[in-house]
Structure 1
């Protein structure tokens, strides 16, 4: 079984490869496609953006496509960065600048109000069939500084609920047990026999 992941984010691709390997699913991504288009994310929700990307790429290449739209939602700042997580500090994607902006905005927020969650919405588009949407969450809070060297994105400032570790302090195996993407993929796994 083969599936195309509609992303050029190498970190996401590695997570998908790791999780799909045990299911016998071969993963390729837009990193493997020459002149792959950049789908404009014009949606106002993770689900809208995931659907846009999955359907456009599936129709273009006539293949089953999984698209992921994910990000960090922080309660104290009105749900930001939300769908703008990848480019929160500017048009160019820069993880460090994004984290610095969040830490700056959260500087005066007390510990009990620093609640946040990672959200991952997956859309599965297949030519001629209805698109399927699933979502996973990982609850936590925002740390006061960056800690840890694993993962990508906001992992170094996201304290995982029930632990004293940031997501970036977890091993790949530990992260893939509890992450928002793992939870969304688990829901997808339950429906795999219906999808392909």
Structure 2
């Protein structure tokens, strides 16, 4: 089977000069990590990535059960950092019900630095600034754990995310290529 290579950037940031985490807009709130909300993280991850290029790069992101398995694996790692793992919820004004709309997970890498695993915002809630606030909240969690730096990887085609990360202070440290079997690549449509 033929392989397709996706170009990805490894981006890094020093945690010593982070800005304070700004407040969320009205009608949004943070929900700290606990094992009972694992499925909610997985559901938001699926809603955030299923129609994006990253579902081709990592096919599990395009599958609800795959997102659940991935979230479970992340949360069971030795280096899992609950203080860098958050949901953002939004309150439906008509019903008063809260719905999870953004997720981030963090782990400690082999060098003892923070590593963002996935940052996802559900379509319909993008462009409101909650992704930037959520990322800063995760970075604050790494800093509280005494980590000097943090990193993440982003697919080079995800220009909006790259701009966000650069605006917050991340810099491209290296370029990596992710090989994916062509049979695993699915055609996606932007939502």
TM-score normalised by L of structure 2: 0.27
Higher strand share: 2
| Higher relative contact order (Cα pairs below 8 Å, separated by 6+ residues) | 2
Higher helix share: 1
